[in-house]
Structure 1
Amino acid sequence: MFDIARELDHWVAEGREFAIATVVSVGGSAPRGPGGALAVDREGTAIGSVSGGCVEGAVYELCERALSEGRTLRETFGYSDDDAFAVGLTCGGTVEVLVTPVRTTSPDRRAFATALAAAARGEAAAFVRVARGPAGQLGRALTVRPDGTYDGGLGLSRQLDRIAAAEARALLEVGRTGSVDISEHGSHCPGGLTLFVESSVPPPRMIVFGAIDFAAALVRAGKFLGYHVTVCDARPVFATRTRFPDADEIVIDWPHRYLRGTPTDARTVLCVLTHDAKFDVPLLVEALRLPAAYIGAMGSRRTHADRDTRLRAAGLTDGELTRLRSPIGLDLGARTPEETALSIAAEIIATRRGGTGAPLTGTETPIHRDTDDPNGIAGTGRAKAVAA
């Protein structure tokens, strides 16, 4: 539900009653992964999506029913071989949806409010709901903060709430969303409760080095993809708010010096558009030794060959150099700044999701890959999760 947190936070602040349908599991090919959500209020206003259109009508009706009856519902949708127009996913997959009413008298409204407010502010929080268990506990929720404290409860025992909070905190630390199976007494075994944990973490960073026209287009693409975008250039005449109105921050500094002092992690994207050896070589020496999801550098093949020689002379190993995407972007035949930004964004997505970048026409590879851990971050080993 965190993909529509800002809108839902406004609904809560306005005192609206609504029901929220959340994808809690996916089988086969499906448009939305766990955490995708559709919400409907008393007036019939709808926001979000659980399937990209395949079963939205049926889920909308479930939301209205849950809100009217004041109880949580759970439903599975899949492809119908008998009737292609029946409610189902024509892409061939299945999705399981948990529909929870959030009324003014709901015992879990405070937990919802806390989680949504944190996500709307860009803060970290995990939201836990009972996705399978006793009928009276289905949908019960609690919100967990990074320090392990929590609001709400699952309605069974304080011990179970503490265990659920610990499990959610473990997933939150690695920014993951998924299901955890535990017994009522806390052991990990089938036949107990299934908790669905949604993690909201601050947006990943995209740092664009080089204040050029191509960078302005890439900043817009990065914002569209949900990144917190920084532009860095040592030249104050080019690194201006007028040239980069969409950037979250603009830094005037030598790129390698700025990168050395700013935090990066396994979700960070670094795009080097300077294609000037005095800037990009010391910068890439720093970058290729830091945690990052993607490191790309702009330039012609001749520029790349010269850069590769210089980087090896600076002491980078073959293993470190294999992390570099250069020339940056996919082969789309791009020429304009906007087309080039699209090719870079496409390569970032393919790297994150495990895509090939090849046309889907004529291939047999799955359209929706099960990228359980696209950034190479280990989970708890007990949860079925996907990266947020």
Structure 2
Amino acid sequence: MDLEKQDAERTAPPAHRPPPRQPEAGEGCLVVAIRLPVRVVVLLVVLPVRLVWDAGAAAARWLGRAVFRPLGRALLWAGRAVFVWPLVGLWRYVLVPLGGALAWLGNLVVVVPAGWLYRYVLVPVGSALVWLYARVLTPFGHGVTWVVRGIVAVLATIGLGVFAVLARLARYLVVVPCVWLYTWVLTPVGHAVARCVKGLVRLAGMLVTGIGTVLYWITRILFVLPLLAVWRWVLVPVGRVLAVVGREIWDALGHAWRVAGYVSLAVGRFLRTLFRWVVVEPVRWVYTRVLTPVGHVVRDVVLRPAAAAAGAVGRAVRQSLASARLTLRQARADLRRVLVGEQHPARDENRREPIGGDTRTLGSRTTALTKD
């Protein structure tokens, strides 16, 4: 049933398979001449590969179902037994109690002394430092700041005067001569140099433009036009032919793969049918026509009589054992009676019913309850 389901799934066309490519209007005799040989060659190449692929896939499915899944379950159970359960036991019965003990010890050794040190040492020392900062260091700092501000103000006044004098001297000794030199000397010289440089740049640009134009036309005539002709009249037609050949090879591969799938399916069905008629049917016929009647005969002729005989022997043995136990019990009672004597059961004084001569008779007028 599984093989039939797999065959049905394989023969059914998948929903995502693209529709067959329609022939283009521009296909000529070259495409038609290439298509059939290419498809024949590709089919001869792809068919063994598809057969080997399908055989490997079937073997892999069988191995996964019959070998790897049970082996994986066994390895998973072994992994749990070897790693998980010991680690869980170690965590639950060793690490957790040890962690609790270490936490209690850490609390006792570290946390409690640290709390005591913070409460009775660090807090008083911090309070003393705060008082020292607020009552001593802050007033002293304010005084030092006032003194420094006065000194800075005096120095700033003196520095401003000196800076004004130096600024006047720098203006009349440095700035004014530099401005005159820049205005009446450097500016005219710079303008002349700029005009010369501009003329040289324009001349160099004209030379570069002429050389570039000459090189452009030389490059165009010697390289670009030949390459363009090779591209247009050689590479493009060859590329189109190669594109047609590649497309046909790709389509031939897809077509050959599908055809090889149908061939592989037919071969698989043939091999399954052959295996069924060569192995399964003879084995079933031998089991149905030979082994089952022989088994019934052995059951009716040998096993059932043997079971009945064994049951009879068992019943006889049980009866013999019961008779032996009864005989042994009687012999033990006779021996006790010979050695000890006949023992009567003790009379129960509290019983409600009278015993022996105390019982009521038809000729008496009293009962056991009103006799006394």
- Tell me which interval the TM-score lies in, with the shorter structure as reference length: under 0.3
The normalised TM-score by structure 1 is 0.14
Greater radius of gyration (CA): 2
- Tell me which of the two structures has the higher relative contact order, counting C-alpha pairs closer than 8 angstroms and 6 or more residues apart: 2
Per residue, is there more strand in 1 or in 2? 1
Per residue, is there more helix in 1 or in 2? 2
